Amino acid sequence: MILYAIPIISQLEAVMRHVLNWFHSNLGLTWAWAIVATTVVVRMLLVPLTIRQIHSMQNLQRHAPQMKEIQKKYKGDRQKQNEELMKFYRENNINPAASCLPMLLQLPVFISLYYTLKHFSTNFPESAHQNLSWLHPLIPDITAHTTSFWGGYVLLVVYVASQMASSFFMMTTTDKTQRVLFMVMPLFFVFIIARFPAGLVLYWVTTNLWTVGQGLITRRLVARTPTPVLERRSSRTPPKDDGSSGNGARRESPPPKPAPSASQQPRQVRRKKKRTSRR
């Protein structure tokens, strides 16, 4: 492939080869469980970035009404809309790229594992007489295509279910169109991933299961962001007086009047009742 001609790809493959060989030789794990262990280590290293991702998603959700108002206001001018959104991001310390960073950092791991499994017999010549299965007889060979055996279809079903579950936990948008898109995407992507080596699907399933467990823990520990609601104001609704004038100066309230002393209290005049004369 043309992608493999890039020098960094071969270097990533060499790193992955050494990592898998360390788990296999030093810890005595099979090659399949070495992939699972590698996946767990990668996700543990990404925990700080994942926490930032969760906070970034909550921040975006918290300011979603203001962002929709900006998009609605500059609907006809796309350039002005982008400028105002970037200005809004800077003023509120919002980093939209933080939510995509963990996913992007996993891409080199995915690519390096793909080429390592594709050239597995070349990278590990002694593996021809070793155990390449995972939960035998479910996956007899992790280097073969996923659909080469019946267990591969079971693994694909687990992949679709785990991918939907992980998308559900990592998705904070309330837009129905995006929600349906994220939930349906694994059903279409499964036809592509079915031609990948079974070990690569195993890596993906492990990643998804980690995300599901992480989402369950996060929901218990992190306070859920309340659904933002825009205040609807009509033309008759008076503006709220927050104590500040239009030029930014705070309006001072008049000092309270002192209570009158006993000597200053007004005298009460008693009126005499008029007597009516009898005739």
* pLDDT tens track for 38-79: 999 999 999 888 888 777 777 777 888 888 888 888 888 888
pTM: 0.72
Question: Residue 42's pLDDT is what?
Answer: 95
Residues 6+ positions from 62 with CB-CB distance below 8 Å: 225, 228
The more confidently predicted of residues 227 and 30 is: 30
Q: Which residues pair with 134 in a beta bridge?
A: 139
Q: Cis before residue 137, ω within 30 degrees of 0?
A: yes
User: Which stretch of 15-24, 108-117, 185-194 has the lowest confidence by average pLDDT?
Assistant: 185-194
The pLDDT confidence band at residue 173, using thresholds 50, 70 and 90, is low
Look up residue 173 and give its amino acid.
Answer: T
d(CA 36, CA 134) in angstroms, rounded, equals: 10
Distance CA(120)–CA(142), nearest Å, equals 10
Q: What are phi and psi of 95, to 5 degrees?
A: -120, 95
Decide: 161 and 211 in contact? Cβ < 8 Å.
Answer: no
pLDDT of residue 257: 58
pLDDT of 25 over the 90 cut: yes
The tokens describing 254, both together, are 């008049």
pLDDT value of residue 219: 72
pLDDT at 166 over 70: yes
Q: Kindly indicate the confidence band of residue 223, based on its pLDDT and cuts at 50, 70 and 90.
A: low
Report how far residue 20's alpha carbon sits from residue 28's, in angstroms, rounded to the nearest whole number.
11
Residue 242 has pLDDT above 60, yes or no: no
Q: How many CB atoms lie within 10 A of CB 112?
A: 21
Q: How many angstroms separate the CA atoms of 139 and 148, rounded?
A: 9
